[in-house]
Homo-oligomer: A and B are copies of this chain.
Amino acid sequence: MASIFGTLFRVSTFGESHGAGVGCIIDGCPPKIALTEADLQLELDRRRPGQSKITTPRKEEDKAEILSGVVDGLTLGTPIAILVRNKDQRSEAYKEIETAYRPSHADYTYDAKYGIRAIAGGGRSSARETIGRVAAGAIAKKVLTGAWADYECLAYVKSIHDIEASQVSSLAPLASVTESNIVRTCDPEAAEKMIALIERVRSEGNSVGGIIECVVRGVRPGLGEPVFDKLEADLAKAMMSLPATKGFEIGSGFAGTRMTGSEHNDQFYMERGRDLPAAESPTRVRTRTNRSGGIQGGISNGEDIVFRIAFKPTATILQAQPTVSSEHEDTILKARGRHDPCVLPRAVPIVEAMTHLVLCDHFLRQRAQNK
């Protein structure tokens, strides 16, 4: 449904930008998972506004309160409700958009759909809605790491506008690299250029977009479904449900359309004798290349799951733009307010959260049908 995600590990989110608060209920979480508010805060702090000079200066501490479902640091198996109160609200900054539809934003379509909308802060279309996702994702991650000790999910900025990070060769040191620069890219050299670019477009009242890549390790073979709920289909939906996304590709993606079958196919081979983390058997089916991106026929094959998401430049810019009013008259909008000139640095933990949610749901589904 509209604001409910998942089949067995189900997240129901709520909240407008300028209402009392935002949050979620997680239904279907396994019991006896160790969980504290600090686990959630760790991830929420990564998506928090005001965390660096290239994000919005809005100050929200985004403190998560667990309202139910956890006693003495352990989940009960019953719904976990999480609430984050809204704090830094300056509704006066939204006077302009009361009557003028912001281009490439959701103002017009909300009116077209509901005949009413929460104007301040963009209401439900605000990026604050993703707080519930990040909190829920932090819980999904705990379920997965409890099941697979070597489970790792790492997203990072692959490009900002026309600045591309160099190829990632090994995941091992990646987490520390990504978190060592405020743009959250995997390439420290590119980071400098990206930051400079973001600061420049901000000073011009403009914005930029880019591409985030996500690599997931440790997922066992067999997750996913053969038809509609293919693992890549559910990942695509999860990512395309994030604000500002315009594209999703997995493995070889769009570039793979320029290969022939003999170039594209991932040949299988038996891996032997290696120190296989968390494997029960000394041999394992592997592929020599990974153009499949870790999923074949909708089902994980044990290789790294690798996908990329395109984020458009932030729609809210501080330049005058022709548009129409809610009374359907042509007008000019010059937005004020505090906005991210580039959403990607803060989107990294959100991409990870959605990945955890999809994988945790399929993990439980797999256990139900094929244990």
Q: Which residue of B lies closest to A296 (CB)?
A: B109
Binds B, one of A2-10, A50-58, A187-195: A2-10
From residue 197 to 228 of chain A, which have CB atoms closer than 8 A to chain B?
Answer: 201, 206-211, 221-228
Cα separation A328 to B286 with both chains bound (whole Å): 10
Taken residue by residue from 237 to 249, chain A's Cβ proximity to chain B (1 for < 8 Å, 0 otherwise) reads as 1111101011111
Interface of chain A, main secondary structure: mixed
For the complex formed by this chain, how many copies does it contain in all? 4
Q: Map CB proximity to B onto A246-274 as digits: 1 under 8 Å, 0 otherwise.
A: 11111111101111111111111110000
Stretch of A41-49, A70-78, A170-178 that contacts chain B: A70-78
Question: Whole-angstrom distance from the CB of A204 to the nearest CB of chain B?
Answer: 8
Chain B hits for A77, CB < 8 A: 113-114, 116, 369-370
Complex Cα gap A310–B115 (Å)? 37
A79 close to chain B: CB less than 8 A: yes
Does A28 interact with chain B (Cβ within 8 Å)?
Answer: yes
Residues of B with C-beta under 8 A to A287: 103
Question: What residues on B are CB-neighbors of A230 within 8 Å?
Answer: 240-241
- Take A112-B302, A227-B3 as given contacts and tell me if A201 and B264 are in contact as well, using a CB distance cutoff of 8 Å: no
A sample of 18 inter-chain contacts (CB < 8 A) reads: A1-B7, A2-B79, A8-B369, A14-B69, A15-B81, A19-B67, A19-B71, A207-B260, A229-B241, A232-B245, A233-B238, A236-B236, A236-B237, A257-B311, A268-B323, A270-B330, A285-B328, A371-B371
